[in-house]
Every structure is written in C-alpha cells, then in structure tokens.
C-alpha cells in the first residue's frame, strides 16, 4: 500500500525510536520525506535503514527548542520538497524525577522541547501546510497526559499542553482544510523509554507503573512500528474525517 505517493512529509525526532519508525513507514508508502533531528548519528542510521527509499529522503539537523534552528530547517525542507503536506511532530524528551526534587531547569527543559518545540515547528510550517488546502499535523502525545504517571510530572504537563495545542489549531484552521490529530502511545520500546527507566529516582515504587503498558502481548511494551502504522492511516486520505482528537496506541492500558 502506497498511500503517500506524491505526498511531502516532515518528521521530527526521526533519528530514533517512534520518529524513526514513522519516517521509515511513510517512506515505504511512497512519501517524499525530510527527517529532522538534533542527533546527526541517528539520522545517518535512519537513512541507512531507508534503503532504496533514501533517494526520496533528506536529513536535516534541527533543534526544535531553538527558533534559530527551526526556521532555517523549515526553509530547507520546503526547498527540498517544494511544499509540505504532512508534519509529524515526534521529537521529545523525558526526564523522570520526584516532583519535590525536580530542578526548575529540568522542568523548563522538558516543557521547552516537548511543548514549545511542537509549537515552533508547527508555527513555521503552517503557511506551507495551509497552502495545500489539505495539510495535516500529527502530534505525538502520551498516555501520561491522560492518566497518572509517577515521577513524570513535567513530561505529563508538556504532553497535556500538546493535546490542548492540537485541539486549538484543529479548530482555528479547519475551514482552511487543515487537520490536526494527537497520537497517544503508552510505553513504547525506544531509547527514550530505556533512558527513563535507567534514570528513575532511587527507591522508586514499581507498583505505581500499572498503566505504563497495556494488556496485549502479556503487558509488553509496544514498538515504534505499532505507532507508525496508526500515523500512516491518520495522515493519509483514509483519515480525512479525523481532526482535533486523540488516538490511543496503548495496548489497552487506559481501557
């Protein structure tokens, strides 16, 4: 199935994890794609995994939290693609800590990357998306925004903000043909998940993590491919009647 033949796509956070999985899936379905990330090594790995589809791929170093990095990256994206049909905001960070011990700089870093970074990238890309008359913004949220997740107060707050931001732009630009959707995963096998487990505070309570994984596959973590398949549907014409909503990809964690 090649639902993205002729479609121009940008994916942030495409150097690893969910972002990389989405980029590879959309390339496989025919997209012309820009993969953006702050991690150049990760982007090289994405290009290698793309195989023959790499001829339709451009990788761009971009720090989504820095407007002076975002603006030229969007300019380069539009020069390469000749426009933009789909933006997938998958870049993000996670910094677990007990809330009463969390340094303000850590709180600010997570909010700046996850929420402000999503805003900056979307804001810069909106004129091009609106010019198509059928632009799509897919934002990666988290079940942490919808249910209690321990030691993740700043992450949960940032993703709750992403949910609200997505609803706002979905309504604001609906008459101009824009769609905006939140994808809401639970625990997914990726570098960010592995790092967060290693960084959990000493003496953490494992019983508090009952909603981090779903009931499918014996409670195992999901994979980036599980999320990528849903993004491919939502961002394609098959998702044409979906906007301003959340789609959970959580193995039933919140059912």
Q: Is residue 27 part of a domain?
A: yes
Residue 73's CATH number: 3.40.50.720
Looking at per-residue confidence, does 104 or 254 come out higher? 104
| Per-residue tokens: 129 | 């998306």
> pLDDT-derived band of residue 197, with 50, 70 and 90 as boundaries?
low
Q: Is residue 1 part of a domain?
A: no
Q: Is residue 255 part of a domain?
A: no
User: In this predicted model, what pLDDT tens digit does every residue of 136-176 receive, in sequence order?
Assistant: 999 999 999 998 888 999 999 999 999 999 999 999 999 99
Q: Is residue 182 part of a domain?
A: yes
Q: Is 155 a catalytic residue?
A: yes
Report pLDDT for 203.
80
Residue 83 φ/ψ region, left for φ over 0, alpha for ψ in the -120 to 50 degree band, beta for the rest? left
Q: Is residue 128 part of a domain?
A: yes
The CB density around residue 205, as the number of other CB atoms within 10 Å, is 10
> pLDDT-derived band of residue 194, with 50, 70 and 90 as boundaries?
low
Report pLDDT for 212.
66
Q: Is residue 2 part of a domain?
A: no
Q: Is residue 185 part of a domain?
A: yes
Element containing residue 160 per DSSP (H, E):
helix 153-172
Residue from 151, 155, 173, 241 carrying the catalytic annotation: 155
Q: Is residue 209 part of a domain?
A: yes
Q: Is 30 helix (H, G, I), strand (E, B) or coil?
A: coil
Euclidean distance between CA atoms 198 and 219, whole angstroms: 19
- CB-CB contact of 90 with 140 (8 Å): yes
User: In this predicted model, what pLDDT tens digit does every residue of 202-234 receive, in sequence order?
Assistant: 887 877 766 667 777 777 888 999 999 999 999
Range of the domain at 80: 8-249
- CB-CB contact of 37 with 61 (8 Å): yes
The CB density around residue 201, as the number of other CB atoms within 10 Å, is 13
Query: What is the total count of domains within the chain?
Result: 1
Report pLDDT for 132.
98
The mean per-residue pLDDT over the stretch 89-104 comes to 95
Q: Does the pLDDT at position 195 exceed 70?
A: no
Interstrand relation of 86-89 and 8-12 (parallel, antiparallel or unpaired): parallel
Between CA 3 and CA 86, with CA 139 as vertex, the angle to 5 degrees is: 35
Looking at per-residue confidence, does 207 or 83 come out higher? 83
Report pLDDT for 129.
98
What's the pTM value of the predicted model, to 2 decimals?
0.93
The mean per-residue pLDDT over the stretch 61-66 comes to 98
- CB-CB contact of 143 with 184 (8 Å): yes
């Amino acid at each position: 199935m090649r639902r993205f033949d002729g479609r121009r796509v940008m994916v942030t956070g495409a150097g690893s994890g969910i972002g990389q999985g989405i980029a590879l899936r959309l390339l496989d379905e025919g997209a012309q794609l820009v993969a953006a990330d702050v991690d150049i090594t990760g982007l090289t790995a994405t290009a290698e995994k793309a195989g023959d589809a790499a001829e339709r791929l451009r990788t761009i170093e971009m720090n989504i939290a820095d407007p002076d990095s975002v603006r030229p990256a969007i300019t380069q994206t539009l020069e390469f693609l000749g426009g933009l049909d789909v933006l997938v905001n998958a870049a993000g960070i996670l910094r677990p800590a007990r809330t009463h011990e969390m340094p303000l700089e850590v709180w600010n870093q997570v909010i700046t990357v996850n929420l402000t970074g999503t805003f900056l990238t979307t804001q810069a890309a909106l004129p091009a998306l609106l010019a198509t008359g059928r632009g799509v913004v897919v934002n990666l949220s988290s079940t942490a925004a919808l249910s209690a997740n321990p030691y993740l107060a700043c992450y949960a707050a940032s993703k709750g903000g992403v949910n609200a931001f997505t609803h706002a732009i979905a309504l604001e630009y609906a008459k101009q043909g824009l769609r905006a959707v939140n994808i809401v995963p639970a625990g997914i096998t990726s570098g960010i998940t592995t790092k967060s487990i290693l960084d959990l505070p000493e003496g953490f309570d494992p019983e508090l993590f009952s909603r981090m994984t779903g009931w499918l596959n014996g409670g195992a973590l999901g994979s980036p491919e599980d999320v990528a398949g849903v993004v491919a549907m939502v961002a394609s014409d098959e998702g044409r009647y979906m906007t301003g909503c959340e789609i959970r990809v959580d193995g039933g964690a919140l059912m």
